[in-house]
Structure 1
Amino acid sequence: MGITKFITAVAVVAAALSQAQTVDITGACKALSEAYPRDTTFPHTSAYDSLNVYFVNTTVQTPKCIFTPRSANAAAFAIRTFTSHKTIFAIRSGGHNWNSGFSSTSSGVLLDLLYLNEITYRANSKTVKIGTGNTWGTVYKALEAYGVTVPGGRASPVGVGGLSLGGGLNFYLYEYGFTCDNIVEYEVVTASGKIITVTKQQHPDLFLALKGSGAPFALVTSFTFKAIPAGKIWGGSVYGGASTVEKSLEAVAEFMAPGGGIEDLNTHLISVVALQNSSGTISANVLFYRDDVSTVPKAYENLVASAKGEELANTLSSGRTIADLTTEIGGSSAAPGPRQRLVPWTVKDPDAGTLKELNDIFHKASSPLLPKVAGFTATVTMIPLGYQAAKGKNVIGLEKGVNYLVMSLLVGWTEEKDDLLVRAAVWECYERITEYFKKSGKLGRWM
């Protein structure tokens, strides 16, 4: 074979492979488009491109088609279709995830639930039925008119489905437990394509399994939550420069200590240490208080004071709403980035020395990447669970009597060429941190 024919043959094979990557070889997409033409979109169309968007570029997938059911019946038809055609599929609620393949697929069909967006408050039972395709910002805004809310996500773009099935950290954690602890009913599609209602009385095993396990057992089309009273709140964020980081870590430890602010059930804290090319090292504390107080609550005095001397910004105020605060958080810490990687862990009974050691490990591992990696950022986020979080009946597996702190390392960067370097550094940092906590006996079992 001459070189020209060889090059031509290679080009033909490459084109065929490229085409195969976007063609549905099972027939499921054809079946969906025949039954629901307006709700089935294909690659290389504007409708497909508008749906096939991702929280971070490191999770981008190319589904063979995207199906957007507008009812539980349509979702059930999709599940039956996937089963009969032996089709790989993925389910998306809000798509707020850093892990590739968690809410999409390049090997099959993406089932995007965005049109399952019912929000119905039932005053007689004090419950709220919420479609899986909603995001939390939309939910909170809709419920303001009724003076109620539900313990859901803390950033407005987060989807209802993933957070509710995964457990669900929320502002009301200390009083009401995880988000999943507040669900009283699920509408689900089973693997056979049957629609069933799941409650404590109906299908009790599945009811428990759905509380914190993720989404392996059924496709949930709606959740019914217990509603809780909601009015104006106090909250916001306070940011400090590099000189405030150690004081902020001390304040987090004091908040979690016996007699500390965490014993006030109206509180919720998200504390961050961030390393950025643009602004160096900063501390940030996101504070929530359920009552509309006019001054800084006693539980937070040390955290707010930790930024004094190098305070960079302060949005703390009274008269706020859940929708307002989650929009603020959604526009900062939860904002989509070009390329990101996140790894979580939990710590038991942390103290100031423990957190300072963690900060040292974090800086030693992350700082060398600042001059090497374009757009590099690294943050450690700390969310106190306290003793109260273990009280719910779920499958999360927290030990009772343990003062938990959830932590995560999130790294962002700009260019694909740095992927391997950054991922290796993230893993090395994670291993150093978890090894330190293992040796000190403080590494939690819950990740």
Structure 2
Amino acid sequence: MTSLPHLGVSRLILACLCWLNINAVIAAPKSTAKQCSKLSLLLPSKVSYPASPSYLSSIQSYFWQQSEALTPACIVTPTSTLDVSIIVGTLTVLQLFNPSSALFSVRGGGHGTVVGAANNNGGVTIDMSHMNSTTLSPDKSIAFVGAGARWNNVFAALEPLNLTVSGGRVAGIGTGGFLTGGGISFFSPEYGWACDRIAGMEVVIAGGVVLYVTRQLFPDLFSVLQGGSNNFGIVTRFDLKTFEQGLMSGGVTVYDVSTVTAQLDAFMGFMNPATFDKKATVIQAFVWQAAFGPLITIDMEYALPELNPPALQPFSSIQPQYQSSQRIAPLSELVTELASFQPSGSRGLYANTVLKPTFDGLKAIYDIWNCTIDSISGVDGIVFSIIYQRVPTTLAGNKNSLGLPSDAGSLVLVELSISWNSASDDTLVATTAKNVITAIENYTKAAGLYNKFKYLNYADSFQEPLSGYGASNLAKMKAASKKYDPLGVFQKAAPGGFKLM
């Protein structure tokens, strides 16, 4: 988009509001129902209401029960950046003149576990799922990916050309929340955070103003969108750097719980810089579920068509194993496999913490988790996991908002993942999760292993991932919010998720 050289962002917002014709469009709204009716006038075929087939289809496609249970007054399904501009412009006017009627949420893939981040009660939900195209630049160096696309479809579109991008590791994950939350991919050991592979973004900010942002154009906004989540606008398109990628090896191996010590030894060896292999990814999960009891699963991926490479042999040699799906396959197949381990329709919670790894530290964290099982084992449908994986490095030359040091690849991300069936157990699960993370962090702080970083996409509502980026980055995000959203639309009218104010 061509920028207007003599207008600041605040004037652009004012100009956009005038274009929307405030008197005709808004007419002193008194409720969210009127907000929906005004959007219906502007986008008549793209607003749906409760009980309509399109509304129900959108609601029923959420991954987690807690998001599906929310009932917005209407759902708007844009198909273009212009649609999003009209929606945000209208919401900005509402925020200015009648803030109580301006509640909205933005939904990409709908996989987030924080209640209210991608849906709401009584407001407007903007469902980006129809903005899902994947196309290539003429030289094939950039993939233009819609913010409503799902990663398995993105990968499948690029695979015939032996190309890919850094994206999600589970089929069905959406592009928008994943990338604006940082993004860990199977290619992070080589290419860093997925957000660092963004060449440019088309984003709609407050007032409905459309900006194209890069490291050169609006660099302050570009930087904070890399990790700053939904605080600054709605990204409608990501321009992602491609790279060559054919078939690769990958799969999940399931082990007996008696192999805990060998597993931790293997993981510590994997984290040793002397044995680092930029093609190798390991996700080590200790799992308890009522149907099977305790298990250990290791997802091993290797970005070349090579089975059992040296970097992964310390894991593959551990016995006994119950099953293994290691094979040569396309990326789209491998992410679909991981999705099969967590079917939709349950309730979910993620929380995480980061530490400098030692064998004793990882074993202590395992013990904290293991000692908690009895207190939560009676929860219907419970799957209770603690997961270890490497923190990606921010590669030289990239300036995202995450605040990680250049040696972040030596850190371990510890994710607590819980799913269950009934809302009646929500309080017990949430309390258990907070207690486990608190106990882990008390230990890592006392042992000198603690790192304040939290991965936003795996954070729970009791955590503050944006503060974990550091005071300097948090100040930059707050400054960008005031500059590009002076009315605080994305802080006040879109309160879900992790906010700056």
Normalised by the length of structure 1, the TM-score is 0.90
Is the counterpart of residue 445 in structure 1 residue 458 in structure 2? no
**2:297 matches 1:284:** yes
Aligned equivalent of 1:56, options 60, 64, 77: 64
Corresponding residue number in structure 2 for 1:20: none
| Matched residue, 2:475 | none
Number of residues paired by the alignment?
Answer: 415
The amino acid across from 2:353 in the alignment is W
Structure 1's consecutive aligned runs of 4 or more residues displaced over 6 angstroms after TM superposition are none
Match of 1:251 among 266, 291, 297: 266
SS at match of 1:38: coil
**SS of corresponding position for 1:117:** coil
Does the aligned pair in 2 maintain the 1:245–1:282 contact within 8 Å? Answer: no
Q: Which residue of 2 aligns with 1:268?
A: 281
- Is 1:231 the counterpart of 2:246? The answer is yes
Q: Is the 8 A contact 1:337 1:412 kept in 2?
A: no
Paired letter, 1:444: N
Structure 1 residues 100-115: aligned runs within 5 Å: 100-115=115-130
1:197 aligns with 2:212: yes
Q: Where does residue 89 of structure 2 map in the other structure?
A: 80
- Is 1:69 the counterpart of 2:78? The answer is yes
- Identical pairs, percent: 28
The answer to whether residue 426 in structure 2 is matched with residue 422 in structure 1 is: no
Moved more, 142-151 or 239-248: 239-248
* Separation in structure 1 between the aligned mates of residue 31 and residue 129 of structure 2, nearest angstrom: 22
Relative distance call for 1:389 and 1:304 in structure 2 (3 A) is farther
- Secondary structure of 1:312's match? strand
Superposed displacement of residue 389, structure 1: 4.0
Q: Deviations over 1:136-175 (max 9, x none)?
A: 0010001112211001101111000001111110011121
Cα distance in 2 for residues equivalent to 1:84 and 1:276: 49
Q: Is 1:317 aligned to residue 327 of structure 2?
A: yes
Q: Deviations over 1:173-209 (max 9, x none)?
A: 1211111100011111110111121112211111111
- Secondary structure of 2:207's counterpart equals coil
TM-aligned CA deviation for residue 90 of structure 1:
0.7
C-alpha separation in 2, matches of 1:439 and 1:302? 30
Deviation at 1:38, TM superposition (A): 2.0
Letter in 2 for 1:303: F
User: Does the Cα contact within 8 Å between 1:56 and 1:338 map onto a contact in 2?
Assistant: yes
CA deviations 1:397-428 (Å, max 9, x no partner) are: 11223411111111222222222222222211
1:222-265 C-alpha deviation (Å, 9 max, x unpaired): 000111001011111111122123321221111102323xx111
User: What pairs with 1:182-193 in structure 2 (closer than 5 Å)?
Assistant: 182-193=197-208
1:26 and 1:85 in contact (8 A); partners too: no
How far 1:26 sits from its partner (Å)? 5.6
2:65/2:345 contact within 8 Å kept? yes
Tell me, yes or no, if the aligned pair for 1:390 and 1:398 is still in contact at 8 Å.
Answer: no
Q: Name 1:33's counterpart in structure 2.
A: 40
Q: 1:18 corresponds to which residue?
A: none
Corresponding residue of 2:402: 396
Aligned alpha-carbon RMSD (Å): 1.6
Distance 1:72 1:90, change over 3 A: same
Quick check: 2:93–2:207 contact (8 Å CA) kept in 1?
A: no
Within the candidate set 364, 369, 372, 1:362 is matched to: 369
CA–CA distance in structure 2, aligned partners of residues 49 and 220 of structure 1: 25
Q: Which residue of 1 aligns with 2:348?
A: 340
Q: Which moved more, 1:361-370 or 1:163-172?
A: 361-370
Corresponding position: 1:45 with 2:52: yes
| Structure with greater contact order relative to length (CA < 8 Å, sep ≥ 6) | 2
Normalization by structure 2: what TM-score? 0.80
1:406 and 2:413 aligned: yes
Unaligned stretches of 5+ in structure 1? Answer: 1-22
Aligned-partner Cα distance in 2 for 1:26–1:314: 53
Q: Give unpaired runs (5+ residues) of structure 2.
A: 1-29, 96-101, 455-501
Q: Hey, what does 1:10 align to over in structure 2?
A: none
Using the TM superposition, give the Cα deviation of residue 337 of structure 1 relative to its aligned residue in structure 2, in angstroms: 4.3
How much has 1:429 moved relative to structure 2?
1.4
